[in-house]
Amino acid sequence: MLRINTIVFPETIDEAYTLLSKNKKNRVLGGMIWLKMEDIQIPCAIDLSKLSLDTIEETEEEFKIGAMVTLREMEINEPLNKSFGNVFKDAFKDIVGVQMRNMATLGGSIYSRFGFSDVICALLCLECEVETYKHGRISLEEFTKLDYEQDIVEYIYIKKTGLQSAFTCVRNSSTDICTLNASCTKYEDHYKFCIGARPAIAKVYNCPLDDVSLDVLCGSNMRGSKEYREKLVEGLVTRLVRKVDGDAC
C-alpha cells in the first residue's frame, strides 16, 4: 500500500527540487497511476500542479509540452497529431482506457522509462528533447540512458520537421501492455525506427531507404518469446514503411 506522510504544493520549480532533495525517499507526483500500486512510504510527496506545467504550447519551430499534461490531452490535441501523422492518437488510444489516460501524465511516463512505454516509443522517432531540473534540455534518447535519480521532468520539446511519422504496436489482448511497439520517421535519405517493448526500453535504429533491415535485440518474457518478437519486428517495420511512404495499409 502507498503511504504518504505529507503532500506539498510548491509554487516554484526551485522550491519543488529543494523539497524533493531533502530526503531520498521523497517523490514527485504525476497522475499517481503507477505510484498508487507501489508498496512504499513517501515522507514528502511533491505535487507539481501549481507550476503551470499543464499546457501544450506551439510555436513555428516546435511544441512545448508540460510534464503535467495528460496522455489523453496529447491523444486528442489536433495540432500535435496533425504535425506528426497521428502518432500520439495511434500510440495512446489503446493504453488501458480514457479514465486512466485522463490521469496518467507525460512527466510520469517519461521519468518512469518503462520498457513497454508507448509514450517513449512514440516520442523517440521524433526530434524530441526533455527538460529536467538537473540536466536542462537533453535529447530524449540520452535521457532514456540515464540512471534513475532525484530530478524533475518539466517539459518535452518536439521539433516540427514536416516529416512523415507513424506508430504501430501489437498487444496480446486489448488494454494489456504491448508485446512490441514501433514507430518510424521518414527522412530524405533514411528511415529512423524506434522499437520498444523488446521487452527492454525503446531503442532507435537508422537505416537507408533502399535497405530496411534492422538487427533488433529482442528478449523473452511472459508476453512473447525472443523469436516471436523478431518476427513481429519484420511485420511492424513493413507496416510502418507503408504508412510513412503513404501507401494504404
Ligand X SMILES: Cc1cc2nc3c(=O)[nH]c(=O)nc-3n(C[C@H](O)[C@H](O)[C@H](O)COP(=O)(O)OP(=O)(O)OC[C@H]3O[C@@H](n4cnc5c(N)ncnc54)[C@H](O)[C@@H]3O)c2cc1C
Check binding of 69 to ligand X (CB under 6 A).
no
Q: Which residue is nearest to ligand X (CB)?
A: 108
- Give the containing element (helix H, strand E) for 107: helix 106-112
Stretch of residues binding ligand X (CB under 6 A), selected from 21-29, 183-191, 210-218, 236-244: 21-29
Size of interface with ligand X, in residues (CB under 6 A): 30
Stretch of residues binding ligand X (CB under 6 A), selected from 54-62, 100-108, 218-226, 233-241: 100-108
Are 17 and 88 in contact by the 8 Å Cβ rule? The answer is no
Check binding of 104 to ligand X (CB under 6 A).
yes
Question: Cα(126)–Cα(62) distance, rounded to whole angstroms?
Answer: 11
Q: How far is the CB of 175 from ligand X (least distance, A)?
A: 8
Of these, 16, 51, 65, 67, which contacts ligand X (CB under 6 A)?
Answer: 67
Of 117 and 186, nearer to ligand X (C-beta) is 117
Are 45 and 59 in contact by the 8 Å Cβ rule? The answer is no
Question: Cα(21)–Cα(170) distance, rounded to whole angstroms?
Answer: 39
**Rounded-to-5 percentages of helix, strand, coil across the chain:** 30, 30, 40
Check binding of 128 to ligand X (CB under 6 A).
no
The closest alpha carbon to 101, from 91, 90, 92, belongs to 92
Q: How far is the CB of 26 from ligand X (least distance, A)?
A: 9
Q: How far is the CB of 158 from ligand X (least distance, A)?
A: 17
Check binding of 95 to ligand X (CB under 6 A).
yes
Q: How far is the CB of 87 from ligand X (least distance, A)?
A: 13
DSSP 206-241: EEETT----------BTTB-HHHHHHHHHHHHHHHH
Check binding of 66 to ligand X (CB under 6 A).
no
Q: How far is the CB of 169 from ligand X (least distance, A)?
A: 9
Are 244 and 184 in contact by the 8 Å Cβ rule? The answer is yes
Of these, 177, 180, 184, 232, which contacts ligand X (CB under 6 A)?
Answer: 177
Question: Cα(175)–Cα(30) distance, rounded to whole angstroms?
Answer: 21
Q: How far is the CB of 197 from ligand X (least distance, A)?
A: 9
Query: Rule CB under 6 A: which residues touch ligand X?
Result: 27-35, 37, 48, 67, 71, 95-96, 104-105, 107-109, 111-112, 116-119, 151-153, 177
